[in-house]
Amino acid sequence: MAAPSMGGVSLPRGNGQTVRLPRGASLTDLAEKIGAQPAALVTALFHLGEMVTATQSVNDETLQLLGAEIGWVIQVVSPEDEDRELLETFDLTFGDEGDEEDWEARPPVVTVMGHVDHGKTKLLDAIRNTNVVAREAGGITQHIGAYQIVSELEGEERPITFIDTPGHESFTAMRARGAKVTDIVVLVVAADDGVMPQTVEALNHAQAAEVPIVVAVNKIDKEGANPAKIRQQLTEYGLVAEEYGGDTMFVDVSATTRQGIEDLLAAILLTADASLDLRANTEQDPQGVVIEGKLDKGRGPVATVLVQRGTLRQGDSIVAGDAYGRVRSLLDEHGNKLREALPARPVQVVGLTSVPRAGDTFLVVEEDRVARQIADRRQARIRNAQNASMRKRISLEDLDAALKENRQLNLIIKGDNSGTVEALEEALMKIEVSDDISLRVIHRGVGGISKSDIDLALADDVIVLGFNVRAEGQATELANREGVDVRYYTVIYQAIEEIEAALKGMLKPEYEEVQLGTAEVREVFRVPKIGNVAGSIVRGGTINRNSKARLIRDGAVVADNLTVESLRRFKDDVTEVREGYECGIGLGSFNDIKVEDVIETFEMREKPRD
């Protein structure tokens, strides 16, 4: 069977075969899989009405549409799916097993978020110190990334787990990696200040993740504290206090005097009971999420993990992200050795061969060998993804892909002082390019570009601007590895110019048809193997080989979407024939050509913008 021809380039037909592609693949990736020329796929997609470049990532639907057109069934595989399949090859699944009725209730896992200086750290300290049981247990409380306290509700002792990294860092880092850890968000708002940009951001993060919120109205000990104002302000964001008829619990607290802390803990438990049914199977193979990982001088790689299901024990063979090993010891936040850890329990695991990343999942497997094999396979995949990631992530030069569906440019602004950050943000917000493209600053702050900024950028496809500051510590490495676009400026107008140029680039290119030439058919030749060729005379402009063409008969368009596939003068192939000259025009597999038809050639040109 002859290869079908689209736009003059032949494509290998799939005949319904399936081809698998990772999410965010480009036409070049597809071309590689099916043995086609990337340019041919670009052309084919153009005929379907989509303009993309060969290396731009293409969304799932478009890939599938293109696949259908050329006879391939395209299966888009997300990284999560890939990992699921990897685990399946070992007969493993990440998730709950068994009958829900047999599961046991588990404590809620809480993340504290809110605007800087509203008291997140202080509140986490205050909560940690209310813990009677911990004091009895002795031991010095250490920061291991999470801790569990026991609170009393209606005479019953109830544990609650807190993620001990305040702010959005941990939350977004986890979310960026697809891990769902937090059951409830405590949103801290200082009563003497009010709802601030990061308050709104935190709220957006929580709502996007569909996590219930408890509001801690903090610093009520301070003069000028106005808790009622906070309630009022938050109604605008859909958080209506119970006392105003809504379903969000607001608790007035002071992290300094510890007033209201018990009420806050009760509110957390009541919210959990009212809107969540937190259960886990304690019997299955243990699984969970890495909260933080570090290299300890004495103990080697140490990871704080949160057990989500099963019971983690000393001696278990474990794989966490691309790290593996055998659990040598389990330590709680007081440095006490534990024999086992139940769901929602944060523990330090010693015994891994390398340091996993926050947000990695962990699984316990039967044998060390299996743990190692899974880790090896993940390492290989991470390397592959890294090679590809540079072009997958958004950058100022290649914005169009990410903005296809979402016509918004997200920015993070970091600067050396709040004045310049504000000035830059204000100036950027004044840029106007078009109604359907917007600029959004999702985070701003004073200080160097931190790892958490990059994590946030990863979760939402963001460009990070550093004004008189640089990336700190691991941030540069992470940004490079993940291909996050970080730009440094020392002059405001330069930043504005670049962003403005980027926004202009985001405008969908507009194309207009430009007529190139017309030719009248004088005679039709049948050429073996090629088909009908139109012996024509060029009536206007020029006819070019490979240009797009349509056929007109008696003033009506008979066929559109044709291509001048062959062009000859006498016996010679030529690329161009001018007005007044005769030539032979072949329109590929299109054979319905008659004397007196008119062939019109044209091209699509991008309209320049002003």
- How far apart are the C-alpha atoms of 305 and 286, rounded to whole Å? 11
Indicate whether 200 belongs to the interface with ligand GDP (CB under 6 A): no
Listed in sequence order, the residues at least 6 apart from 213 whose beta carbon sits closer than 8 Å to its beta carbon are 184, 185, 186, 187, 203, 206, 207, 239, 248
Choose the binding region for ligand GDP from 118-126, 332-340, 537-545, 588-596 (rule: CB under 6 A).
118-126
Is residue 117 marked as binding? Answer: yes
**DSSP-derived 3-state class of residue 495:** helix
Residue 157: Cβ-neighbour burial (10 angstroms; 0-12, 13-18, 19+): exposed
Using CB under 6 A, which of 53, 55, 121, 389 touches ligand GDP?
Answer: 121
Question: Which CB sits closer to ligand GDP, 264 or 486?
Answer: 264
Is residue 218 marked as binding? Answer: yes
Write out the H or E segment, with its range, that includes residue 439: strand 438-446
- How far apart are the C-alpha atoms of 220 and 461, rounded to whole Å? 37
x/- letters, 97..116, toward ligand GDP (CB under 6 A)? -----------------x-x
Residue 201: Cβ-neighbour burial (10 angstroms; 0-12, 13-18, 19+): buried
Using CB under 6 A, which of 52, 127, 255, 479 touches ligand GDP?
Answer: 255
Indicate whether 456 belongs to the interface with ligand GDP (CB under 6 A): no
CB–CB of 316/350 below 8 Å?
no
Write out the H or E segment, with its range, that includes residue 330: strand 323-331
Question: Which CB sits closer to ligand GDP, 11 or 265?
Answer: 265
Residue least distant from ligand GDP (Cβ): 119
Nearest distance in Å: CB 122, ligand GDP: 3
Sign of CA dihedral 498, 503, 504, 506: positive
Residue 118: Cβ-neighbour burial (10 angstroms; 0-12, 13-18, 19+): buried
Nearest distance in Å: CB 170, ligand GDP: 13
DSSP 460: H
**DSSP-derived 3-state class of residue 388:** helix
Indicate whether 447 belongs to the interface with ligand GDP (CB under 6 A): no
Sign of CA dihedral 576, 580, 584, 588: positive
Write out the H or E segment, with its range, that includes residue 391: helix 368-392
Nearest distance in Å: CB 206, ligand GDP: 16
Is residue 168 marked as binding? Answer: yes
Cα angle vertex 509, ends 493, 494, to 5°? 10
- How far apart are the C-alpha atoms of 249 and 242, rounded to whole Å? 6
Indicate whether 68 belongs to the interface with ligand GDP (CB under 6 A): no
Indicate whether 258 belongs to the interface with ligand GDP (CB under 6 A): no
- How far apart are the C-alpha atoms of 441 and 100, rounded to whole Å? 43
> By CB under 6 A, how many residues form the interface with ligand GDP?
16
Using CB under 6 A, which of 131, 148, 151, 218 touches ligand GDP?
Answer: 218
Indicate whether 117 belongs to the interface with ligand GDP (CB under 6 A): yes
Indicate whether 118 belongs to the interface with ligand GDP (CB under 6 A): yes
Is residue 118 marked as binding? Answer: yes
Beta strands in 451-571 (DSSP E): 463-467, 486-489, 511-527, 531-544, 548-553, 556-563, 566-569
Is residue 24 marked as binding? Answer: no
CA neighbor of 316 nearest in space, from 265, 367, 263: 367
x/- letters, 152..191, toward ligand GDP (CB under 6 A)? --------------x-------------------------
Pairing of strands 184-190, 156-163: unpaired
Indicate whether 548 belongs to the interface with ligand GDP (CB under 6 A): no
- How far apart are the C-alpha atoms of 135 and 601, rounded to whole Å? 84
- How far apart are the C-alpha atoms of 199 and 201, rounded to whole Å? 5
Indicate whether 579 belongs to the interface with ligand GDP (CB under 6 A): no
For 132-138, the CB contacts below 8 A with 24+ separation are: 133/157, 134/333, 134/334, 137/334, 137/336, 138/334
Indicate whether 122 belongs to the interface with ligand GDP (CB under 6 A): yes
Indicate whether 221 belongs to the interface with ligand GDP (CB under 6 A): yes
Nearest distance in Å: CB 116, ligand GDP: 5
Is residue 166 marked as binding? Answer: yes
Question: Which CB sits closer to ligand GDP, 170 or 287?
Answer: 170
Question: Which CB sits closer to ligand GDP, 252 or 332?
Answer: 252
Using CB under 6 A, which of 219, 392, 414, 548 touches ligand GDP?
Answer: 219
Indicate whether 119 belongs to the interface with ligand GDP (CB under 6 A): yes
Question: Which CB sits closer to ligand GDP, 222 or 279?
Answer: 222
Indicate whether 476 belongs to the interface with ligand GDP (CB under 6 A): no
Cα angle vertex 398, ends 455, 502, to 5°? 90
Question: Which CB sits closer to ligand GDP, 225 or 502?
Answer: 225
Indicate whether 120 belongs to the interface with ligand GDP (CB under 6 A): yes
Residue 416: Cβ-neighbour burial (10 angstroms; 0-12, 13-18, 19+): middle
Nearest distance in Å: CB 255, ligand GDP: 4
Question: Which CB sits closer to ligand GDP, 221 or 520?
Answer: 221
Choose the binding region for ligand GDP from 214-222, 439-447, 472-480, 481-489 (rule: CB under 6 A).
214-222
Is residue 417 marked as binding? Answer: no
Q: What would the two tokens of residue 4 be?
A: 């079908």
Indicate whether 451 belongs to the interface with ligand GDP (CB under 6 A): no
Nearest distance in Å: CB 121, ligand GDP: 3
Question: Which CB sits closer to ligand GDP, 218 or 317?
Answer: 218
- How far apart are the C-alpha atoms of 353 and 347, rounded to whole Å? 17
What is the binding site for ligand GDP (CB under 6 A)?
Answer: 114, 116-122, 166, 218-219, 221-222, 254-256
* Residue list, annotated binding site for GTP: 114-121, 164-168, 218-221
* Residue list, annotated binding site: 114-121, 164-168, 218-221
